[in-house]
């Protein structure tokens, strides 16, 4: 991964942390997360940055019991896909007092774990 790509990913995480999340929009695709330089559906290089809605919709989730080594210390954990406008994002669920429900509104956030060099995208109940 190039330094430019790493910088774009870090900027994306920082925007989420600052409650200013965004996604990338091409001319013919659903939303995308950085880094992207070309719309994969059209090959068009016209990509714009769009504000992400404050609330997303939980589409699916699954509990992970056998985690990869960087996440062994936090397993079991729940991985989910949520839709924020036209972009779908993968993250981990946090702060649910009861079982999550498909279609439930969630908010996107960032969590930093000591043993990981990169932050995690997390979804909490809205």
Dump pLDDT digits (tens) for 102-126: 999 999 999 998 878 889 999 999 9
Mean pLDDT for the chain?
Answer: 90
Distance between first and last Cα of the chain: 34
In whole angstroms, what separates CA 100 from the centre of its chain? 17
Average pLDDT over residues 22-38: 85
The domain locations on the chain are 3-125
Dump pLDDT digits (tens) for 45-98: 888 999 999 899 999 999 999 988 878 888 899 999 999 999 999 999 999 988
The pTM assigned to this predicted structure is 0.89
Strands (E), the chain: 22-25, 48-51, 56-64, 77-84, 87-93, 105-111, 120-125
Cβ-contact 30, 52 below 8 angstroms: no
């Amino acid at each position: 991964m190039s330094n430019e790509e790493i910088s774009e990913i870090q900027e994306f995480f920082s925007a989420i942390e600052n409650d200013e999340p965004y996604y990338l929009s091409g001319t013919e695709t659903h939303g995308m997360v950085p880094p992207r330089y070309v719309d994969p559906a059209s090959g068009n290089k016209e990509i714009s940055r769009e504000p992400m809605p404050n609330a997303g919709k939980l589409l699916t989730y699954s509990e992970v019991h056998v985690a990869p080594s960087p996440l062994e210390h936090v397993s079991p954990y729940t991985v989910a896909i949520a839709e924020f406008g036209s972009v779908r994002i993968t993250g981990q669920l946090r702060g649910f007092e009861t079982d999550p429900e498909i279609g439930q509104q969630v908010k996107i956030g960032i969590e930093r774990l000591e043993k990981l060099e990169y932050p995690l995208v997390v979804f909490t109940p809205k």
